[in-house]
């Protein structure tokens, strides 16, 4: 993502407009191929019928929060984080889902702006939500994954982060 955020503004400044538009299209195609690989093609059909409808399950699996604040604070100070942080694998999935949709939120508004379209946040955000929901439903239907409500939330957050980064660079005049 750092490479994408640094490469796109640099390419825009150094390359002609027509070539820049083609490069953006190629990057989007490469992103789409990687997206398909990580969400479908790299998996075996072993989750037939699986679903998770519990909100924020990954955070619940990652952090065990004892409501005795004094005890929790004492454990933090003494360095015994193993009682608070239970499973980092679940939190890793949160970051990966967010990073998976960051390029969509970053590239789509830039491609629209290059084609003279007024880049609005909501259509790009709805595109991210739609693609995420479509992916989750397709994973559930094909058995190449399972439907997870949390993935919808984290994918949308990743798309929003991409949109936010794009808008910030646009306001600064980098793009």
Give exposure, 23-41, as e/b (b: 16+ Cβ within 10 Å): ebeebbeebeeebeeebee
Q: What would the two tokens of residue 122 be?
A: 């909501």
Specify the residue for token string 């994918």. 155
Q: What would the two tokens of residue 131 be?
A: 């693609």
Of the candidates 45, 145, 51, 161, which has an alpha carbon nearest to the alpha carbon of residue 95? 161
Predicted confidence at residue 100, as pLDDT, reads: 94
3-state secondary structure 4-24: HHHHHHHHHHHCCHHHHHHHH
Q: What is the pLDDT along the chain (175 residues), one digit of tens a residue?
A: 778 888 888 888 888 888 888 999 999 999 999 999 988 888 776 655 577 787 877 766 666 555 566 666 666 666 655 555 556 666 777 888 899 999 999 999 999 888 777 778 899 999 999 999 999 998 888 888 788 898 999 999 999 999 999 999 989 988 7
Predicted confidence at residue 132, as pLDDT, reads: 95
């Amino acid at each position: 993502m750092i490479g994408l955020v640094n490469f796109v503004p640099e390419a825009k400044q150094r390359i002609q407009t027509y070539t820049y538009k083609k490069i953006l299209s190629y990057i989007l195609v490469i992103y789409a191929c990687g997206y398909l690989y990580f969400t479908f093609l790299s998996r075996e059909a072993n989750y037939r019928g699986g679903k998770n409808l519990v909100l924020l399950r990954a955070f619940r699996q990652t952090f065990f929060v004892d409501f005795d604040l004094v005890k929790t604070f004492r454990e933090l100070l003494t360095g015994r984080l193993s009682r608070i942080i239970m499973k980092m694998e679940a939190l890793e999935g949160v970051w990966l889902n967010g990073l998976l949709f960051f390029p969509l939120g970053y590239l789509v508004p830039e491609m629209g702006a290059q084609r003279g379209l007024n880049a609005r946040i909501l259509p790009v955000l709805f595109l991210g939500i739609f693609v995420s929901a479509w992916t989750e439903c397709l994973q559930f239907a094909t058995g190449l994954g399972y439907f997870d409500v949390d993935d919808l939330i984290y994918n949308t957050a990743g798309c929003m982060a991409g949109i936010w980064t794009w808008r910030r660079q646009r306001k600064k005049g980098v793009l």
